[in-house]
Amino acid sequence: MTKSIILVGVGGQGTITTSSILARGLIAGGKDVKMSEIHGMSQRGGTVVTQVKYGEKVYSPIIGEGEADLIVSFEKVEALRALPYLKEGGTVVTDIREIFPMPVLTGAAAYPGDAIEQMQKSVPNVIVVRAAELAQQLGNVKAQNIVLLGALVKQLGLMEIDWRSIIRDSFPEKLVDLNLKAFEAGTSME
Amino acid sequence: MSKQIMSGNEAVARGCYEAGVHFAAAYPGTPSTEILENIGGLYKEEIYSEWAPNEKVAAEAALGASIGGMRAICTFKHVGMNVAADPIFTAGYCGVNAGLVYVTADDPACHSSQNEQDNRLYAPHAKLAMVEPSDSQECKDFIKKAYEISEQFDIPVLFRMTTRVCHSKSVVELGERSEVPVKKYERRPEKYSMLPVNARKRHVIREALLQDLEEYAYTSELNRVEKVEGTDTGVITSGISYQYVKDVFGDSVSVLKMGLTHPLSRRLLQEFASGYKHLIVVEEGEPYLENALKILGFTNVTGKDKLTIQGEFNTRVVRDSLLGKQEVFSYQVEGVQAPPRPPVLCAGCPHRGFYYALSRQSDKFVSSGDIGCYALAVNPPLNGFDTCICMGAGFSSLVGLSRALKAQGDTRKAIGELGDSTFFHSGLTSLIDIVASQTNAVAVILDNSITAMTGHQENPGTVRNLMGYESPAISIEALVRALGIDDDHLRIFDPIDQEAAKEALEAAYQAEGPFVIITKRPCALIKEVARANAGKHVQIDPDKCVGCKQCMKVACPSLAFDSEAKKAYVADTANCNQCGLCLQQCKFGAIGKAGE
């Protein structure tokens, strides 16, 4: 059975890096993997979406609406935006971090601060994490993505893969320790 | 050999390495850019690679390498192939010495483009062979095959990818490089000098070779029949669409997966199609395969009557179109909506400075934009320009536009903007026309010292090249002055400096004849620039802020307005680089520097 995961965030949050590490780990775990990303114009402060599918044999690299087993959101309202992709009974893991888009900054649109609470009313499986906050406590908010990676692999029951060595191979020496701690933090969240 | 997860673009680069390619040239363009980036970064010992000023130059450079005896590659995005079309059509007659592959990366759905053109149609038109991969492994394997075809049939190969093939990652098994020696160059004017007398003969040879290639296509492993017993449905597909077909139909229908799509083996199509009561052609874009089937006389064909010509497919589009629309499950969340998050000019972007200054004098100008990050300035509140067509048009269009405005008594002056890389691409020849025609217009070169939108590629104006070596950094100012633009008709300044920008635009409006503005400030995201500004940001003193929102007008993503407190504040100190544009707006001295 193919599993479909959507990672969403804002340009610069590290969603693409996370997806790449996830994909490398899944291959090490013997899965067929496809990953899809869109970059170019959409990167400049816009929404960034990456998609990862894995299983015995994966054909299409794209996940359609109502097809995702898991949505991992690096930003509060991006979870809401990606919700149409969630399948019935699927899970949302979302950071509570807020990043205001330009229309909100200029006052042309409102930012729904209660997006998660509203989502929880109709979506049964919404897991809220404070990944950015945890990463900040570990010394660098940029490690938010690896905290979320930890939360994600725990959620998917993929702990048997040797993520630590994948992370070691994915970062320069001086960032390895931070990211290992971030991963640890992600997997040990309730 | 080891297995790696690679994007299609990375796999093409790897395929070039393994195929013994010696020469690579391109102009950056999403979704093709990473092919050359990977060649330049990973394989520079084996392959010479360069960012050419534009696609035509790149295509000619690669053709020269091929004629000279090196296996060569040239890549472009779909619209880039339009720029390169001139040499490519004639290269179709010349053929090759060593193998020559042109990669076109099409962009159905316009993820990062101005149109959705289907470049498969170029292959029959320019008389090229065409190969279409469906995933990263095929990108690597088919590239190697493409060089064999190119040399065996003396023909350039069009390697056709789409965004989802370029940017999707899947598992690739790596191989070794085969060293292909550089072939001896020989003078052969009858083959490579396309004067009419030779071209007529080459055309005959080309048609004959295409027939031979069609014979080859009948048995080529690039085309594959996945035969299922007991079904009355046969699907014909190619490229990424194959993946959706497999998701929708699994092993319930027979599939003809085409990898060598020009020339199409009519015998293969005929034999496959004759075996089924229902034929379905699944292809994004134009009905290329479908038309071929219909010309063969098949009428039991489902294709563009059900599957859209616009946008891109996915599994659901293919399923809904062919098997009937299914209800999609969706969780409904009441009462909240995600606010739109359009891409914006970054905090500290130099382009914001120029376009903000222009917006303050918008009544004096009719503005024409171009392709690059600065295209984002079209959005409110900057409303930076009215038109954006293609590389260079920001300048060339002024020649006609200014005359049309004058003819209707419109006193506004035509102004066009493009970046440093776009200037080298085709803005220079456009500016030559503005000067030669003595057009009364303003040409603005927004020089941020990099090709930014496609992800920071070097260009002829930068101090390094694709392979990381020093390069001469051609001076835009010297080029402009060489065209005869004098001091009275030229302004060069930092676009964040609003005094300078205001003066320049006023002078430009008053001046007669061609006027050039060069804004100089490096992109905020260039590593060295970001490092130099690390930690710097502005802060707003809430006691001094009167809530006038003047600073918000520059549309910087680092600034926010608290509508309850009625005060502006710095929402994102990490990305603010203290460019100082907002600081110049505040009459109350509320904005100050911090974090130095």
Q: Average pLDDT, whole number, for chain B? A: 96
My answer on whether B229 and B171 are in the same domain is no
Residues of chain A with Cβ-Cβ distance to B167 below 8 Å are: 36-39
Residue B333 and residue A86: Cβ atoms within 8 Å?
no
Assigned domain for B71 exists: yes
pLDDT at position B196 is 97
Opening angle at CA B571, ends B568 and B572, nearest 5:
140
State whether B94 and B208 are in the same domain. yes
Q: Does A169 touch chain B (CB under 8 A)?
A: no
Tokens of B162: 């789409």
Per-residue pLDDT at B160 exceeds 70? yes
> Is pLDDT of A40 > 80?
no
Chain B interface, best mutation among A2, A47, A54, A60, by max B CB count within 10 A:
A60
The three-state secondary structure class of B320 is: helix
pLDDT for B316 beyond 70: yes
Residue A108's alpha-carbon distances to A44, A105, A111, in angstroms, are 19, 8, 10
- Pairing of the two strands B441-447 and B413-419: parallel
Residue A151 distance to chain B (closest CA, Å): 23
User: Is the same domain home to B451 and B558?
Assistant: no
Give the model's pLDDT for residue A45. Answer: 77
Query: A73 to chain B nearest CA, in Å?
Result: 13
* In chain B, % of residues over pLDDT 90: 94
B448 and B583, same domain (yes or no): no
State the nearest Cα–Cα gap between A187 and chain B, in angstroms.
Answer: 25
CA distance B158 to B377: 35
Average pLDDT of the residues in B448-467? 95
| Residue B345 placed within a domain | no
With contacts defined as CB-CB under 8 Å, which chain A residues touch B169? 20, 23, 33-37, 61
ipTM comes to 0.91
- The residue behind tokens 């001139």 is B86
CB-CB under 8 Å, A33 with B169:
yes
Residues B520, B541, single domain; the answer is no
Interface residue B5 vs chain A (CB under 8 A): yes
Which pLDDT belongs to residue A31? 93
Asked which of B219, B238, B261 is the last residue of a domain, the reply is B219
CATH number for the domain that contains residue B299: 3.40.50.920
Q: How far is CA A154 from CA A89, A145, A190, in A?
A: 17, 14, 10
- Asked if B344 lies within 8 A of A46 by C-beta distance, the reply is yes
Q: What is residue A189's predicted lDDT score, i.e. its pLDDT?
A: 81
Query: Which strands form B23-26's sheet, in the order they lie side by side?
Result: B48-51, B23-26, B72-77, B100-106, B157-162, B129-131, B260-262
Query: For residue B570, what is the nearest residue in chain A, using CA coordinates?
Result: A105
Number of domains into which chain B is organized:
4
As a whole number, mean pLDDT of residues B56-69 equals: 98
- Selecting from B247, B316, B331 the residue whose C-beta is nearest the C-beta of A122 gives B331
End-to-end alpha-carbon separation of chain B, Å?
51
Mutation target among A27, A63, A105 for the B interface, most CBs of B within 10 A:
A105
Domain coverage including residue B277: 224-323
Give A13's pLDDT tier (boundaries 50, 70, 90).
Answer: confident
Instruction: Please name which of B74, B76, B238 lies closest in space to residue B156, comparing C-alpha atoms.
Output: B74
Q: Convert B396-436 into a string of H (helix), E (strand) and C (coil).
A: HHHHHHHHHHHHCCCCCEEEEEEEHHHHHHHHHHHHHHHHH
Element (H, E) at B68: helix B55-68
Can you tell me whether residue B193 is helix, strand or coil? Answer: coil
CATH of the domain at B554: 3.30.70.20
Using DSSP's 3-state secondary structure scheme, residue B505 falls into helix
H-type alpha helices, B297-383: 315-323, 350-360
- Count how many pairs of residues, chain A against chain B, have C-beta atoms within 8 Å: 186
Q: How far is A107 from chain B (nearest CA, A)?
A: 7
Q: Are residues B36 and B133 in the same domain?
A: yes
Q: Which two tokens stand for residue A17?
A: 């890096």
What's the pLDDT band for A122 if we cut at 50, 70, 90?
very high
Beta-bridge partners for B105: B77, B161
> Does residue B593 surpass a pLDDT of 70?
yes
Give yes or no for B561 touching A (CB within 8 A).
yes
Residues of A in contact with B346 (CB under 8 A): 44-45
Start-to-end CA distance of chain A, whole Å, equals 27
Do B246 and B359 fall within a single domain?
no
Query: Does residue B512 form part of some domain?
Result: yes
Cα–Cα distance measured from residue B77 to residue B28, given in angstroms and rounded to the nearest whole number: 8
Q: What is the pLDDT of residue A118?
A: 95
Q: What does R_g of chain A's alpha carbons equal in angstroms?
A: 16
Tell me whether residues B339 and A101 touch, CB distance under 8 A. yes
Question: Would you say residue B55 lies in a domain?
Answer: yes
pLDDT tier at B2, thresholds 50, 70, 90: confident
pLDDT digits (tens, 9 = 90+) for A64-116: 999 999 999 999 999 999 999 999 999 999 999 999 898 888 778 899 999 99
Do B193 and B228 belong to one domain?
A: no
Partners of residue B31 in chain A, C-beta under 8 Å: 40
Assigned architecture for domain A3-187? 3-Layer(aba) Sandwich (3.40)
- Across B317-350, b (16+ Cβ under 10 Å) vs e yields bbbbbbeeeeeeeebebeebebbebebbbbbbbb
CATH code at B470? 3.40.50.970
pLDDT tens string B194-206: 999 999 999 999 9
Residue B219 CB: number of other CB atoms within 10 A? 10
Residues 262-291, chain B: which have Cβ within 8 Å of A?
none
User: Residue A46's pLDDT is what?
Assistant: 84
- Output the CA–CA distances (angstroms, integers) from residue B373 to B377, B418, B448, B462, in the order listed: 8, 10, 10, 17
Residue A137 contacts B where some CB pair is shorter than 8 Å: no
Question: Is the pLDDT at B524 greater than 70, yes or no?
Answer: yes
The Cβ of residue A155 has, within 10 Å, a number of other Cβ atoms equal to: 18
Alpha carbon B354 to its chain's center: 25
B309 and B197 in a common domain: no
